Amino acid sequence: MRRIAKNYSWANLPVDHPIDLIDRCRVMGDRMMISYLTLHQGFHVAPHEHDNEQFTVMLSGKLKFEIFDNDGIEPRILEIGAGEVLHLPGGVRHGATAIETSVLLDLFSPPAEFTGVDQNSKKKPS
């Protein structure tokens, strides 16, 4: 199979809104996915988990994460802001709230058609 490099522009990709207060663009590869997200102040995704490994790269703003990585009962609260990266191994239950409007990159491996925001949505993902 021939492999061909592709170039993308966030400005030219479709934007979807699987739940309130989120703008999302995605590029999906064979073994990895990257999403460019704007989470508006007050955005909330309920705690969820997935098998995919996830990196959240904060470009601006501030998010509060609830992370259930020890006993799974009491969450560890973690606030992250611009210049920080959060690594979530697969299977770690987590939720997030935008303390202020935030711009970030989410990287998933392997790619996921359905992410936590899709799991919390009543809409079908685009």
- Give the model confidence (pLDDT) of 42-86 as tens digits: 999 999 999 999 999 999 999 999 999 877 788 999 999 999 999
CA distance 65 to 106: 14
SS3 77: strand
Q: What does residue 119 show for φ and ψ, rounded to 5 degrees?
A: -65, -30
Confidence of residue 123 (pLDDT cuts 50, 70, 90): low
85-115: burial string, b at 16+ Cβ within 10 Å, e else: ebebeeeebbbbbbbeebebebbbeebbeeb
pLDDT beyond 70 at 34: yes
Entry pTM: 0.90
Provide CB contacts within 8 A for 35, sequence distance 6+: 24, 25, 26, 27, 105, 106, 107, 108, 115
Residue 97 has pLDDT above 60, yes or no: yes
